[in-house]
Amino acid sequence: MKSIILDKLIVKDNRVDYFFSVDGNLQKYFKKTNHMFVEYNYDLSNIPRSILVIPFISNVIPLIWITNSTIIVDELDQSFYKCLDKIRVAYQNMFPHVKFKGNVFVKKIVDNVYVPEHEAASLFSGGLDALTTFIRTKDKNPILITEYGWHGDDVQHSDVWEADKENAIKFAKSYGLKNILIQSNYGTFIIAGNIDNDFRKKLGDTWWHGLHHSLAIISAAIPVAYKLKVKCIYIASSFSVRFQLPCASDPTVDNEIRYASGQVFHDGYELTRQDKVKIVSDYYSATKEPVTIRVCFKSEENCCKCEKCLRTILGIVAEGRNPHDFGFDIPNNLSEYVKSFLNDNVKFFTVSNINSWTLIQNRMKENYTEVQSKYVLNWFLDYSFVEQRKKLLLKYRVTKFFPILKRKISSKLNRILEQNN
């Protein structure tokens, strides 16, 4: 039988460690230590084990389902136990080419109940999505949850985490809010590449993007959300209902999650990325509060060079605002800079990239009179992403592959000539 058994759950101060064993051919999907941990800035001693077990189950349950295996744990919270099948069905609908089957075997189901004392806790990276959700839930005084899941078997120093943490603490302080800070190895204890080798083709997506990240991120927050009696955990959408893509972070999955007396809400799905740029830039222009929109993933500051940075910069420009006011140290010759970026990169743009950039272009046309004169990019208004991608991709193939082909032909020719000599 293929199974994952949680052997030990060890709680010490503000940290919980999970040690598990794996039967059948599932071991290839895990690092040999078979160990996951989560560390918080809160003491965990009074939290029931039936709640503490939730992060572990959440991280492995999609694997249990796609491999038709069994997970065995001693105790589990009743609300969470009940929502698992709804999550399974949501995934099944999202990925119809893979069967989501398998069993959850629990020795004792525990009914944990509380009267909520905090209306909201919100996952907060400081990025555009998170800032939008913050603005939308601000009157609920959300507790801000910030996470880092990329440690190895133990906590190690990470400049990225230090910068994220510092930003989250500073941000919370300026609004008189609390932070929940979480560090874990949920992003590394599973060997995602091995799952992708076996399932990527059928899923049409990667393990981390398609099945894992959202449950990992949300569930890590549940023990402290329980402790602080939070009514609802908010997670900001990263995609919009207008450009639906299969993704682990989807309202059909997230909104089914329950724990004790708490629930989860996937916020802002009705908004496009440009709508969010408008919400955030309007809000901060009106309040004059200082802000940095943190968009560069896994780096300490906005690089202002990558696709995501440039897309956000132009989105802000299209709203008639100055990117400098939102944490972007942009080059003086923005127009030339974007032109050469597109020249080099548009050939690699996905459909989703083109959708996002076209939204910015449309907004720039619509809002033309409001765009600050120094940031007017007239050429950009008529730029055809689809045509340019086609043209530049062809050019790229010609310049890159023809010399290779020529080399191959000439070496083959040489061999033939040598043989004939």
- Give the residue with the Cβ less far from Zn ion, 72 or 306: 306
309 binds Zn ion (CB under 5 A): yes
Q: How far is the CB of 165 from Zn ion (least distance, A)?
A: 20
Using CB under 5 A, which residues numbered 207 to 226 contact Zn ion?
A: none
- Listed in sequence order, the DSSP H helices in 231-350 are 251-254, 273-287, 307-318, 334-345
- Give the residue with the Cβ less far from Zn ion, 73 or 309: 309
Q: How far is the CB of 128 from Zn ion (least distance, A)?
A: 12
Q: How far is the CB of 323 from Zn ion (least distance, A)?
A: 12
- Give the residue with the Cβ less far from Zn ion, 162 or 301: 301
- Give the residue with the Cβ less far from Zn ion, 227 or 273: 273
- Give the residue with the Cβ less far from Zn ion, 329 or 387: 329
Task: Tell which one of 22, 191, 303, 354 touches Zn ion (CB under 5 A).
Answer: 303
Reference 259, options 222, 234, 213; nearest CA is 222
The encoded tokens of residue 6 equal 């949680």
Specify the 3-state DSSP secondary structure of 23.
coil
Please identify, among the stretches 7-15, 300-308, 325-333, 401-409, the one whose residues bind Zn ion according to the rule CB under 5 A.
300-308
- Give the residue with the Cβ less far from Zn ion, 142 or 327: 327
Q: Residues 6 or more apart from 69 whose CB is under 8 A from it?
A: 1, 2, 3, 4, 24, 26, 63, 102, 103
**CA–CA separation, 50 vs 71, rounded Å?**
15
Please identify, among the stretches 25-33, 122-130, 302-310, 377-385, the one whose residues bind Zn ion according to the rule CB under 5 A.
302-310
**CA–CA separation, 226 vs 117, rounded Å?**
10
**CA–CA separation, 354 vs 332, rounded Å?**
25
Please identify, among the stretches 112-120, 225-233, 303-311, 397-405, the one whose residues bind Zn ion according to the rule CB under 5 A.
303-311
Give 275's Cβ-side CA count (13 Å radius).
13
The encoded tokens of residue 313 equal 């910069």
Q: Sort residue 51 into left (φ over 0), alpha (ψ -120 to 50) or beta.
A: alpha
**CA–CA separation, 416 vs 421, rounded Å?**
9
- Give the residue with the Cβ less far from Zn ion, 309 or 360: 309
Using CB under 5 A, which residues numbered 165 to 204 contact Zn ion?
A: none
Cα-based distances in Å from 110 to 4, 38, 116, 317, 401:
21, 22, 18, 53, 62
Please identify, among the stretches 54-62, 299-307, 312-320, 342-350, the one whose residues bind Zn ion according to the rule CB under 5 A.
299-307
**CA–CA separation, 214 vs 246, rounded Å?**
12
The H or E element containing residue 379 is helix 378-381
Using CB under 5 A, which residues numbered 261 to 290 contact Zn ion?
A: none
Task: Tell which one of 26, 296, 354, 376 touches Zn ion (CB under 5 A).
Answer: 296
313 binds Zn ion (CB under 5 A): no
- Give the residue with the Cβ less far from Zn ion, 163 or 296: 296
Q: Sort residue 363 into left (φ over 0), alpha (ψ -120 to 50) or beta.
A: alpha
CB 36 within 8 A of CB 186: yes
Q: How far is the CB of 127 from Zn ion (least distance, A)?
A: 11
- Give the residue with the Cβ less far from Zn ion, 245 or 303: 303
Strand partners, 104: 71
Look up residue 234 and give its DSSP letter: E
306 binds Zn ion (CB under 5 A): yes
Please identify, among the stretches 99-107, 178-186, 295-303, 390-398, the one whose residues bind Zn ion according to the rule CB under 5 A.
295-303
160 binds Zn ion (CB under 5 A): no
Q: How far is the CB of 301 from Zn ion (least distance, A)?
A: 9
Specify the 3-state DSSP secondary structure of 419.
helix
Q: How far is the CB of 331 from Zn ion (least distance, A)?
A: 13
Residue appearing with tokens 């609920």: 140
**CA–CA separation, 264 vs 28, rounded Å?**
32
- Give the residue with the Cβ less far from Zn ion, 89 or 303: 303
CB 79 within 8 A of CB 259: yes
Number of residues that bind Zn ion (CB under 5 A): 4
Strand partners, 266: 235
Q: How far is the CB of 326 from Zn ion (least distance, A)?
A: 13
Please identify, among the stretches 172-180, 251-259, 309-317, 403-411, the one whose residues bind Zn ion according to the rule CB under 5 A.
309-317
Helices (H) and strands (E) in the chain, counts: 14, 11
The encoded tokens of residue 3 equal 């199974």
- Give the residue with the Cβ less far from Zn ion, 119 or 325: 325
Q: How far is the CB of 303 from Zn ion (least distance, A)?
A: 4
Q: How far is the CB of 143 from Zn ion (least distance, A)?
A: 28
Please identify, among the stretches 30-38, 142-150, 193-201, 291-299, the one whose residues bind Zn ion according to the rule CB under 5 A.
291-299
- Binding residues for Zn ion, rule: CB under 5 A, are 296, 303, 306, 309
